């Protein structure tokens, strides 16, 4: 939860468990805050400020920021400061290309080895997502959404590919959460169902189309993006 405080800027409140790696916890908190746009692009990430908030030294904070900078979520300017990176539209476009290419390739392999057990498991996830919407738990919805797409990699017996997809999806998620409309979440349910339906029918081409349609839905956000947020984007 983002809230302004005496630090003068946006802070992230969190109590961490000192028995577990500190840098890991700081990293996770910051990463989630950035993806959920609680820390909007351009927000200064002062190491000292974070040290005071988390009650830890700079070392683990620096480690966390270093990881975030490699992930492209934070820009570090020596002797000037670190800031939540702007959302580069070209990055969003390229990340979408990566994700779509990989998921379609996975889907082609999954279609050839589709089983009723897979169908059940996927429909289970979809049902959970529907419940997430009813409960209004957006974070849980996105977590289960990742689970759905991850299953594609698992079923294709290429679980390692998911890491690459997730990295791309992370960059996309920030854009979607920023521009997205909660009313659109139910559409995801029907699109997921369309994919599983096609797979159940053994129609690989239809599944291909359904997944493409599902993933390309992000493009409508390119149009709807409000002008007032221009400052948060580049390119």
Contact call for residue 210 and a copy of itself (CB under 8 A): no
Contact call for residue 90 and DNA (CB under 7 A): no
Cβ 65 vs Cβ 23: under 8 Å: no
Binding mask 158-187 for DNA (x = CB under 7 A): ------------------------------
What does 158 bind: a copy of itself, DNA, none (CB cut-off 5 to 8 Å by kind)? a copy of itself
Residue 96 has which token pair? 């979408």
Question: 50 to 79, contacts with a copy of itself by CB under 8 A?
Answer: 62-63, 66-67, 70, 78
Residue written as token pair 């890491």: 163
Q: Which stretch binds DNA (CB under 7 A): 41-49, 98-106, 124-132, 227-235?
A: 41-49
Residues 1, 90, 183, 228: which binds a copy of itself (CB under 8 A)? Answer: 90
42 Rama class: left (phi>0) / alpha (psi -120 to 50) / beta? left
How many alpha carbons lie under 13 Å from residue 99 in its C-beta half-sphere? 24
Contact call for residue 76 and DNA (CB under 7 A): yes
Closest CA to 94 of 1, 21, 25, 168: 168
What's the burial of 203, exposed, middle or buried (CB within 10 Å: 0-12/13-18/19+)?
Answer: middle
CB of 13 to a copy of itself, least distance (A): 26
Choice between 171 and 185, CB closer to a copy of itself: 171
Question: What is the C-alpha separation between 113 and 152, in angstroms, rounded?
Answer: 11
Residues 2, 51, 133, 167: which binds a copy of itself (CB under 8 A)? Answer: 167
Residues 5, 42, 59, 113: which binds DNA (CB under 7 A)? Answer: 59
Q: How many distinct helices (H) and strands (E) make up the chain?
A: 10, 6
The radius of gyration of the chain from alpha carbons, rounded to an integer in Å, stands at: 19
Closest CA to 176 of 214, 221, 138: 221
Residues that bind DNA (CB under 7 A): 21-23, 44-49, 56-60, 62-63, 76-82
Residues that bind a copy of itself (CB under 8 A): 21, 62-63, 66-67, 70, 78, 90-91, 93-95, 97-98, 101-102, 105, 158-161, 164, 167-168
């Amino acid at each position: 939860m983002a809230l302004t405080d005496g630090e003068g800027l946006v802070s992230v409140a969190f109590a961490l468990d000192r028995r577990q790696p500190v840098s890991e916890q700081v990293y996770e908190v910051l990463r989630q805050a950035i993806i959920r746009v609680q820390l909007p692009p351009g927000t200064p990430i002062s190491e000292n400020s974070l040290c005071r908030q988390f009650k830890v030294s700079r070392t683990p904070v620096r480690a966390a920021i270093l990881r975030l900078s490699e992930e492209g979520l934070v820009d570090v300017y020596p002797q000037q400061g670190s800031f939540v990176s702007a959302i580069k539209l070209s990055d969003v476009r390229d990340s979408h290309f990566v994700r779509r290419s990989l998921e379609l390739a996975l889907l082609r392999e999954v279609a050839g080895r589709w089983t009723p057990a897979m169908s059940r498991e996927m429909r289970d996830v979809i049902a959970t997502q529907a419940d997430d919407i009813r409960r209004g738990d957006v974070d849980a919805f996105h977590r289960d959404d990742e689970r759905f797409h991850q299953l594609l990699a698992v079923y294709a017996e290429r679980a390692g590919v998911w890491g690459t997809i997730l990295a791309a999806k992370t960059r996309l998620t920030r854009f979607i959460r920023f521009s997205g409309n909660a009313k659109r979440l139910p559409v995801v349910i029907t699109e997921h169902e369309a994919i599983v339906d096609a797979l159940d029918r053994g129609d690989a081409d239809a599944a291909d189309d359904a997944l493409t349609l599902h993933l390309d839905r992000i493009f409508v956000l390119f149009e709807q993006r409000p002008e007032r947020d221009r400052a948060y984007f580049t390119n």
